[in-house]
Structure 1
Amino acid sequence: MKKRTRYPADFKAQVALDAIREELTLAELSKKHGVHPNMISNWKRAAVKNMSAAFGKDVGLVTSVSDAEIDKLHSKIGQLVVERDFLKRGLRSLGKDRRQMRIEKHHPQLSVRRQCKLLSLTRSGIYYHLVEVRPENLNFMQIIDQQFLKTPWYGSRQMARHMKRHGHETGRHRVRRLMRLMRLVPIYQVPNTSKKHPQHKIYPYLLRRLKIEHPNHVWCTDITYIPMRRGFLSLVAIMDWATRKVLAWRLSNTMAVEFCIEALKEALAKYGPPKIFNTDQGSQFTSDSFTQVLSDANVKISMDGRGRWIDNRMIERLWLSLKYECVYIHAFETGKEALQGIGKWLKYYNTERPHSRLGILTPDEAYAMKTEPITMAA
Structure 2
Amino acid sequence: MNGRRKVCFVIEAMGSFGGEERVTSMIANALCDVYDVTILSLWHIGEPRFPIDGRVRVEYLMVRGEGRIMRMWPRYLTMRLRRRFAARRYDVCVNVDPLLTLDVTPALRGLGARIIEWEHFNYHRTLDMPERIRALETAATHSAAIVTLTRRDLELHRDEGRIPERLLRHIPNPTPYEGDVPSPRGSGLAIAVGRLVLQKDFDRLLRIWATIEAVDDAWELAIVGSGPQRDHLTRLADELGLSRVRFVPATDDVEAWYDRASLLLMTSRYEGFPMVLLEAQSKGLPVVAFDCDTGPAEIIDDGANGYLIPQDDDALFAERTLTLMRSRDLQDRFATAALERSRDHRMAPIRSRWIDLIESVASDPAEPR
Please, what TM-score do these two structures have when normalized by structure 1?
0.28
Please, what TM-score do these two structures have when normalized by structure 2?
0.29
Larger radius of gyration: 1
